[in-house]
Amino acid sequence: MDVKLTQPVPLIPPPPRLERIGDKRKVQKKGVNPLLSLFAGSIAGGVEAAVTYPFEFAKTRSQLHSKAPGQQGIVQLVRDVIKSEGYTGLYTGCSTLVVGTAFKAGVRFLTFDSIKNALASEDGKLSPLRGLLAGMVAGAVESIVAVTPTERIKTALIDDAKEARQFKGTIDATKSLIRTGGLQNLYKGLASTTMKQSATSAVRMGSYNVLREKCKTYGMKQNTATTFATGALAGTITVYATQPFDTIKTRSQSAAGASTLQAFRSVIKDSGAMGFWRGSTMRLGRLVLSGGIVFTVYEQIVSIVTAARQKEATKKF
pLDDT by 10s per residue, the chain, length 317: 555 555 554 444 455 444 444 444 444 456 788 899 999 999 999 999 888 888 878 777 776 765 544 445 667 777 888 888 888 788 877 887 788 789 889 999 999 999 988 888 877 788 889 989 999 999 999 889 888 888 888 778 877 776 667 787 788 888 888 988 888 888 887 887 888 889 889 999 999 999 998 898 888 888 899 999 999 999 899 888 888 888 887 777 766 667 778 888 888 888 888 888 887 877 787 778 888 999 999 999 999 999 888 888 787 66
pLDDT at 88: 79
Q: Residue 61 domain-assigned?
A: yes
Q: Residue 191 domain-assigned?
A: yes
pTM recorded for the entire structure: 0.68
If one counts the domains in the chain, the total is: 1
CA triplet 122, 124, 128: central angle to 5 degrees? 105
- Alpha carbon distances (Å) from 59 to 13, 70, 108, 201, 247: 64, 12, 23, 19, 9
Q: Residue 99 domain-assigned?
A: yes
Neighbours of 130 (CB within 10 A): 18
pLDDT at 216: 86
Residue 206 sits in a domain whose CATH number is 1.50.40.10
Q: Which domain holds residue 108?
A: 32-297
CA dihedral 74, 101, 259, 279 (to 10 degrees): 20
- DSSP annotation of 187 reads G
Q: Residue 140 domain-assigned?
A: yes
Q: Are 253 and 196 in contact (CB under 8 A)?
A: no
Q: What are phi and psi of 256, to 5 degrees?
A: -75, -30
CA triplet 36, 37, 43: central angle to 5 degrees? 85
CA dihedral 103, 104, 110, 112 (to 10 degrees): -170
Q: Residue 110 domain-assigned?
A: yes
Q: Residue 135 domain-assigned?
A: yes
Q: Residue 102 domain-assigned?
A: yes
pLDDT at 297: 94
**Closest C-alpha to 129, from 240, 206, 235, 208:** 206
pLDDT at 69: 42
Scored b (16 or more CB within 10 A) or e, 24-36 reads: eeeeeeebbeeeb
pLDDT at 147: 83
Q: Residue 17 domain-assigned?
A: no
